[in-house]
């Protein structure tokens, strides 16, 4: 029976149980099933930013396809029954959903570890609703108000800073900044690390991807590839991160992952065995945003047992196209590399100790 504890916010499984249960589900995946233990849910087609590095906000007309509250609850029930114990919320911008607090509460009550990627623009207003959020990864692409220009939203930077302060005061949410690096902000890598250190939070970096976002329907939503990093600049990006890491700034990437990017080593991607991506209208898609399965017509178990998922897993293992530091880090963790586990233990202590 799942243990429960009563808090001022309600009755939920204790944190230690949810984290242990998530770790157990990862071990089960690694050793037995090779199926995802984290549900990554794009919660809405809508977004209140107009980022130059993203096209997702151009899908706002499709918000009518978003799952309603009860449908999201059903998705969580199905994911839990299929063995998933982590719930990663993103978008679009998840905080524009009016029911976001109810969904976070339901996920925690169910037993999920709750994680959100947000632009943070309305986090201050919704801090109380997010009191049961375990981790908030907040997108910030510049260390001052120039971030407003990159994000296409006036006042964004100050909104985010107030939001981080508010959510840390409200509950026990662990916060890390996420910076997407392009030609627009390459020079801010070190200042962003300094900002994270000043705020007492972690920070993770990724390079802008030269790929399409899912859901695109016309040439008008083609990304601006002109701001992507050249191969030479991408190499400099990884080298800079490694130097920043070694100085002691609070990067969430481990030194092992960054060093292997710098050295150009090949690696085996296990991401499909860890995360399953689900669209706002309940379709499963893979890393290149190709639709594979409609969950309104089938189940997670049927998808994971079928040839489409199995082929996806095999293709990913030898892909080596991904430039995301987080994906390589997840794969190293799944592989249980000792140096990766040791490095993650340090980052975990840093992240948890900074949030009081």
Please check whether residue 176 is in contact with residue 201, taking contact to mean a CB–CB distance below 8 angstroms.
Answer: yes
Task: Using the predicted structure, report yes or no on whether residue 218 has a pLDDT greater than 50.
Answer: no
Q: State pLDDT tens for residues 58-101.
A: 888 999 999 999 999 999 999 999 999 999 999 899 999 999 99
Residue 1 lies in a domain: no
Residue 96 lies in a domain: yes
Residues in the chain: 356
Task: Using the predicted structure, report yes or no on whether residue 214 has a pLDDT greater than 70.
Answer: no
Mean pLDDT score, 319-341: 88
Task: Give me the pLDDT at residue 349, please.
Answer: 59
Task: Give me the pLDDT at residue 351, please.
Answer: 59
Task: Using the predicted structure, report yes or no on whether residue 206 has a pLDDT greater than 70.
Answer: yes
In three-state form (DSSP H/G/I as H, E/B as E, the rest C), the secondary structure along 249-279 is: CCECCCHHHHHHHHHCCCCCCCHHHHEEEEC
**How many Å from the N-terminal Cα to the C-terminal Cα in the chain?**
30
> Where does the chain show beta strands of DSSP type E?
5-7, 10-12, 38-42, 86-90, 113-118, 135-139, 174-181, 202-207, 275-278, 283-285, 291-294
Task: Give me the pLDDT at residue 179, please.
Answer: 96
Any idea which of 21-25, 101-105, 222-226, 281-285 has the lowest mean pLDDT?
222-226
Mean pLDDT score, 2-29: 84
CATH of the domain at 264: 3.20.20.70
Residue 302 lies in a domain: yes
Q: Report the alpha-carbon distance of residue 176 to residue 342 in Å, rounded.
A: 19
Going by their DSSP bridges, the two strands 275-278 and 135-139 should be labelled as unpaired
Please check whether residue 127 is in contact with residue 166, taking contact to mean a CB–CB distance below 8 angstroms.
Answer: yes
Q: State pLDDT tens for residues 220-239.
A: 444 455 788 889 999 999 99
> Where does 72-223 show beta strands of DSSP type E?
86-90, 113-118, 135-139, 174-181, 202-207
Helix 189-199 to helix 231-247 angle (10° resolution) is 30
> How many C-beta atoms surround the C-beta of residue 9 within 10 A?
13
Please check whether residue 88 is in contact with residue 275, taking contact to mean a CB–CB distance below 8 angstroms.
Answer: yes
Report the chain's C-alpha Rg in angstroms.
19
Task: Give me the pLDDT at residue 340, please.
Answer: 83
Task: Using the predicted structure, report yes or no on whether residue 155 has a pLDDT greater than 50.
Answer: yes
Residue 3 lies in a domain: no
Mean pLDDT score, 337-345: 75
Q: State pLDDT tens for residues 188-205.
A: 999 999 999 999 999 999
Task: Give me the pLDDT at residue 213, please.
Answer: 46
Q: Report the alpha-carbon distance of residue 319 to residue 314 in Å, rounded.
A: 9
**Domain count across the chain:** 1
Averaged pLDDT of the chain: 90
At 14, is the pLDDT very low, low, confident or very high (cuts 50, 70, 90)? Answer: confident
Residue 13 lies in a domain: yes
Sheet containing 135-139: which strands, arranged edge to edge? 202-207, 174-181, 135-139, 113-118, 86-90, 38-42, 275-278, 283-285, 291-294
Mean pLDDT score, 128-154: 96
Residue 80 lies in a domain: yes
Any idea which of 171-180, 208-217, 255-264 has the lowest mean pLDDT?
208-217
Q: Report the alpha-carbon distance of residue 136 to residue 286 in Å, rounded.
A: 23
3-state secondary structure (DSSP) of residue 293: strand
Residue 130 lies in a domain: yes
DSSP of 5-72: EEETTEEE--HHHHHHHHHHHHHHIIIII----EEEEE--S--S---TT--GGGGGGGGGGS--HHHH
At 109, is the pLDDT very low, low, confident or very high (cuts 50, 70, 90)? Answer: very high
Q: Is the pTM of this model over 0.85?
A: yes
- Give the sign of the dihedral formed by CA 281, CA 282, CA 284, CA 287: positive
The pair phi, psi for residue 100, each rounded to 5°, is -60, -40
Mean pLDDT score, 304-313: 95
Please check whether residue 122 is in contact with residue 159, taking contact to mean a CB–CB distance below 8 angstroms.
Answer: yes
Mean pLDDT score, 177-190: 95
- In the DSSP assignment, the letter for residue 228 is S
Q: Domain range holding 260?
A: 8-354
Please check whether residue 144 is in contact with residue 113, taking contact to mean a CB–CB distance below 8 angstroms.
Answer: no
The pair phi, psi for residue 90, each rounded to 5°, is -150, -160
Mean pLDDT score, 324-328: 92
Q: What's the token pair of residue 282?
A: 């309940």
The answer for residues whose C-beta is within 8 angstroms of residue 20's C-beta and 6 or more apart is none
């Amino acid at each position: 029976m799942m243990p429960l504890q009563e808090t001022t916010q309600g009755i939920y499984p204790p944190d230690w149980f949810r984290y242990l249960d998530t770790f157990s589900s990862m071990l089960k995946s690694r050793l037995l099933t090779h199926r995802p233990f984290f549900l990554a849910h794009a919660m809405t087609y809508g977004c209140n930013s107009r980022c130059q590095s993203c096209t997702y906000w151009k899908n706002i007309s499709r918000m009518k396809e978003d799952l309603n509250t009860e449908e999201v609850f059903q998705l969580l029930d199905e994911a839990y029954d299929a063995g998933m114990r982590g719930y990663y919320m993103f978008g679009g911008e998840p905080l524009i959903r009016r029911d976001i607090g109810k969904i976070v509460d339901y996920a925690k009550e169910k037993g999920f570890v709750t994680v959100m990627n947000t632009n943070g623009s309305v986090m201050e207003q919704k801090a109380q609703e997010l009191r049961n959020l375990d981790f908030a990864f907040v997108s910030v692409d510049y260390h001052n108000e120039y971030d407003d220009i990159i994000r296409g939203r006036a006042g964004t930077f100050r909104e985010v800073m107030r939001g981080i302060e508010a959510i840390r005061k409200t509950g026990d949410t662990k916060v890390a900044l996420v910076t997407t690096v392009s030609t627009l902000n390459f020079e801010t890598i070190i200042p962003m690390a300094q900002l994270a250190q000043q705020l007492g939070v972690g920070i993770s970096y990724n390079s802008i991807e030269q790929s399409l976002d899912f859901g695109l329907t016309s040439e008008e939503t083609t990304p601006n590839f002109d701001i992507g990093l050249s191969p030479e600049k991408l190499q400099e990006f990884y080298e800079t991160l490694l130097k920043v890491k070694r100085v002691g700034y609070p990067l969430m990437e481990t030194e092992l992952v960054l060093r292997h990017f710098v050295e150009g080593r090949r690696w085996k991607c296990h991401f499909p065995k860890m995360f399953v991506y689900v669209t706002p209208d309940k379709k499963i898609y893979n890393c290149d945003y190709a639709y594979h399965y409609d969950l309104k017509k089938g189940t997670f178990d049927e998808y994971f047992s079928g040839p489409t998922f199995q082929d996806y897993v095999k293709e990913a293992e030898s892909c080596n196209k991904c430039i995301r530091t987080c994906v390589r880090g997840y794969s190293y963790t799944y592989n249980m590399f000792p140096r990766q586990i040791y490095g993650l233990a340090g980052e975990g202590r840093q992240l948890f100790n900074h949030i009081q």
